[in-house]
Each structure stands twice: as C-alpha cells, then as structure tokens.
Structure 1
Amino acid sequence: MIEIYVIRHGETEWNAQGRFQGKLDSILTNTGAKQAEAVGKRLAKLDLSVDLFVTSPLGRTRQTATIIAGSAHLPAAQCDDRLAEVSLGSWDGLTHIDIDAQ
C-alpha cells in the first residue's frame, strides 16, 4: 500500500504579517519551526518506512522539510520544481491593505 502525506510549510514571517507569498519567500518564524518539529515528532510515532521525501524548491518549504526530517528521522527531502507554489502576480509580497490601496 502506498501512503502519501501532504504537509504545508510552517508559519513564515510573511504569514504572520498577512502577506501573500506566492513564489517569493520568507523564513519560518519560531512558531513555524515549532510547527514543523511537532509534525516531525508526530510522524516519528507512526514508524513510517519512507522511500521518498519531496518538497517544493522554495526556502520556506525546504526549511520546514529539514526540520521535519530531523525530528522524524527521515531521509533528506528532494526538491521537485513541480511542487513549487504558484505566483500571485503583482500581489506577491503584498497584504490585503496594500492590494486595496492600489
């Protein structure tokens, strides 16, 4: 049986500020790092046999995956461009307030 787990990156500085990220990047907050560690610890309890761990190439997802891999004793994540987030065009990096002002 094949099992696939889909995990969202931890909270980033821009998430905390209410900014749209799209293809732009922002580092994890302390909360985001703790979220990733909690996911890793939860996965570790499942005693999974992992053949492949894949992540988006963006920094926030790679940072999350690195923390999860360390906490869950998983292999290092491989980046796959097909998992990259979509751009929000001119909204990338802006907040709702910025967008309304434009």
Structure 2
Amino acid sequence: MLARFPDLYVLRHGETEWNVEGRMQGRLHSPLTTKGIAQAQAQRRVLDGVDLDGVDIISSPQTRAVHTAVEIFAARAAMIRTDAALCEIDAGAWQGRLRRDLEIKGDLKMTVDGPLALYEQAEGGEGFVALRQRCETFLATLSGPAILITHGITSRMLRTVALGLPTEAMADLPGGQGVVFHLKDGDQTQLE
C-alpha cells in the first residue's frame, strides 16, 4: 500500500562549478555558477504561481542548496529551515574526484544527471539502502505540505519513496537542475 505524504515540491540546487567540471560533490562544497543562479531564479518563477501559505520550506544545509533556497525565497529567507536529512548522498572517498577517473562495474544506470552507479559504488560511501532509510524517516516526519531544496541523488530517492517505487526506479525518474517536481497523491508532475 502506498504511504500517504503531504503535497511536496522537490527541487535540486542549481548548477555548481563542480557539476561543470564533472566532479563528484557528495558532502563537499562547490559554489553555484551564474547558470546555477539563473536556474534557481527559474524555479522561483515557477513557484510564483503556487499558493505557499502553510507550506514549510526545508533545505539541505549544504551551501549549494541553501544558496539556491535563498535565491528562490529571498523575501522569505527567514522561513527557510535546514535539515541534514536532505543532504546529498555521501560519496565517501570519491567526493571531489572527477567522474571520468572513477571505475564503475556493471550497469551504469545512466540518467540526465549522470550514472547512478557512481553513488551506489562509491568507496566508503553511504549507498542507496542507507539513503532510502534516511529519506523514508524524513518524509515520515512531515505533517504538512513542504518545499524541499536538495540534491540530485537525494531528490531522486525522496521522489522514489514518495511515489512508492522500488529503489531501482530512481533511474527512470526525470531529473535535472532548475526544475520543480510536484508530488501529490502518489503522482509526480514537473512544473514549468
């Protein structure tokens, strides 16, 4: 049976310098690019058409997510709270390394955001089982509608859990930066 969650708006942070370089970020910091700031502003325009009364604004505490949240909600910056459960998956020893230098075994699980296998196979990393548990625990704490500003892999897992899908379905979900996903009653819509 599909768990019922409140309405969710799930956003990924804007493009960072390390995204451009093809570098694994995980829990490390990389600043937004000019394009990343423009992506956050595009998300703000999308959310301008949404009634935000009573909606919690929760961001990952990682700098790139907080910067994105502030770009979107500048007038409501005091309403943004952070939660470590929204941090990006820990990529262990692979954090800071160029993706092209890392060896992946088996199915790459390619997505618009790159190969998911990098995060599942990261040496000393968190892995998808632990990430799913973190996301399930977080979503169970929500008591009302929320906007979640997070990261590529964590966004995919949050949406996978909220949609009642198996972990393997992460690769089939749309991704990207500068987009807003609305999840309501077990359905996902990409807002534009």
Fold equivalence (TM over 0.5): yes
Check whether the contact 1:50–1:74 (CA below 8 A) recurs between aligned residues.
no
Instruction: Compare the two structures and name the one with the higher helix fraction.
Output: 1
Which structure 2 segments of 5+ residues have no match?
1-5, 104-192
Report what 1:64 is aligned to. Answer: 68
Provide the C-alpha distance between the structure 2 equivalents of 1:89 and 1:81, rounded to a whole number of angstroms.
17
The TM-score, its normalising length taken from structure 2, stands at 0.47
TM-aligned CA deviation for residue 50 of structure 1: 4.1
Residues matched between the structures, number:
98
Instruction: Compare the two structures and name the one with the higher strand fraction.
Output: 2
Residue identity opposite 1:99 in structure 2: L
1:32 partnered with 2:63 = no
Give the one of 13, 16, 36 matched to 2:20: 16
TM-aligned CA deviation for residue 11 of structure 1: 0.3
Residue identity opposite 2:51 in structure 1: D
Check whether the contact 1:55–1:78 (CA below 8 A) recurs between aligned residues.
yes
Residue identity opposite 1:18 in structure 2: G
The TM-score, its normalising length taken from structure 1, stands at 0.85
Check whether the contact 1:53–1:78 (CA below 8 A) recurs between aligned residues.
yes
Residue identity opposite 2:20 in structure 1: A
| Map 1:82-101 → 2, pairs under 5 A | 82-100=85-103
